[in-house]
């Protein structure tokens, strides 16, 4: 992977072609990370994919994170690999939470509302009860087809809408499930467990 000076050189090259795209860099635990403005996501990923001397053409992982109460609240992490040089670089797109902190029920809108027009490259209806919105970012499926299921998982668990995704629907939770269960403000609950010991002794 690029070392710290190498990461800054990459940032400088990206700035020449896409000014303002890179917001910050970090090199922690020997992991090089570019924090970017999500508006420039596809431009940055495409540059890392095609630029001579870089060639990060394999998306090994795409995953989301919720940093509540930090701002920006959400991030989508893209772990890229150059398999010829066995080099890794992480691209982190930072997303604001468009929902009002006090508005609506924790977890956001329903999956049906969010994915109403996602097919065919449309823009999903990313609003929910009480005007609560969902964070949005462009889909990278056209560049990395393996992102298809990974973007659906991020949508399923975090309510992040990937604009232009070919089929933005739940992948692990039931279609009628309400909310985004890996958000940090999602209520933790469950059903009470009845123990037979208590039943026999206390009725």
CATH of the domain at 87: 3.30.460.80
Provide the 8-state DSSP code for 131. G
Q: Which two tokens stand for residue 49?
A: 């994919």
Q: Tell me, what's the pLDDT at 145?
A: 97
8 A C-beta contact, residue 180 and residue 163: no
Angle at 132 between CA 141 and CA 21, to 5 degrees: 45
In a domain, 105, yes or no: no
- What CA–CA distance (Å, rounded) separates 199 from 105? 35
Lowest mean pLDDT among 9-18, 28-37, 65-74: 28-37
Domain that holds residue 51: 4-95
In a domain, 91, yes or no: yes
pLDDT in tens, 70-129: 999 999 999 999 998 889 999 999 999 998 453 333 444 455 555 553 444 433 444 433
pTM over 0.85: no
8 A C-beta contact, residue 31 and residue 129: no
Number of other residues whose CB lies within 10 A of the CB of residue 65: 17
Q: Tell me, what's the pLDDT at 189?
A: 72
pLDDT in tens, 174-195: 999 999 999 999 987 766 666 6
Q: Is pLDDT larger for residue 147 or for residue 192?
A: 147
Q: Tell me, what's the pLDDT at 124?
A: 42
Work out how many domains the chain is built from and give that number: 1
Q: Tell me, what's the pLDDT at 123?
A: 37
Q: Which two tokens stand for residue 78?
A: 């893209």
Q: Which two tokens stand for residue 15?
A: 């700035």
Q: Which two tokens stand for residue 151?
A: 């973007």
In a domain, 49, yes or no: yes
In a domain, 74, yes or no: yes
List the helix and strand counts (H, then E) for the chain: 5, 7
Q: What's the longest Cα–Cα distance across the chain? A: 75
Alpha-carbon distances of 117 from 104, 113, 153, 178, rounded to whole Å: 22, 9, 18, 18
Q: Angle of helix 4-17 relative to helix 41-50, nearest 10 degrees?
A: 110
In a domain, 169, yes or no: no
- What CA–CA distance (Å, rounded) separates 37 from 21? 5
Return the percentage of the chain with pLDDT > 90, whole number.
Answer: 63
In a domain, 155, yes or no: no
Q: Which two tokens stand for residue 96?
A: 């604001």
In a domain, 45, yes or no: yes
In a domain, 67, yes or no: yes
pLDDT in tens, 126-138: 443 333 599 999 9
């Amino acid at each position: 992977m690029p070392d710290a000076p190498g990461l800054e050189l990459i940032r400088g090259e990206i700035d020449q072609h896409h000014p303002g795209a890179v917001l910050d860099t970090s090199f922690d635990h020997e992991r090089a990370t570019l924090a970017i403005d999500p508006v420039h996501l596809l431009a940055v990923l495409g540059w890392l994919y095609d630029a001579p001397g870089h060639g990060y053409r394999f998306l090994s992982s795409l995953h989301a994170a919720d940093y509540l109460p930090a701002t920006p609240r959400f991030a989508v992490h893209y772990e890229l690999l150059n398999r010829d040089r066995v080099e890794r670089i992480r691209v982190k797109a930072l997303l604001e939470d468009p929902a009002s902190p006090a508005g609506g029920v924790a977890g956001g809108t329903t999956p049906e509302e969010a994915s109403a027009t996602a097919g065919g490259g449309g823009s999903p209806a990313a609003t929910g009860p009480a005007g609560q919105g969902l964070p949005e970012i462009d889909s990278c499926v056209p560049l990395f087809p393996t992102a298809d299921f990974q973007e659906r998982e991020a949508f399923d668990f975090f309510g992040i809408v990937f604009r232009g995704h070919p089929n933005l629907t739940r992948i692990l939770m039931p279609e009628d499930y309400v909310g985004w269960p890996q958000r940090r403000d999602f209520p933790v609950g469950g059903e009470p467990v009845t123990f037979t010991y208590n039943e026999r002794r206390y009725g």
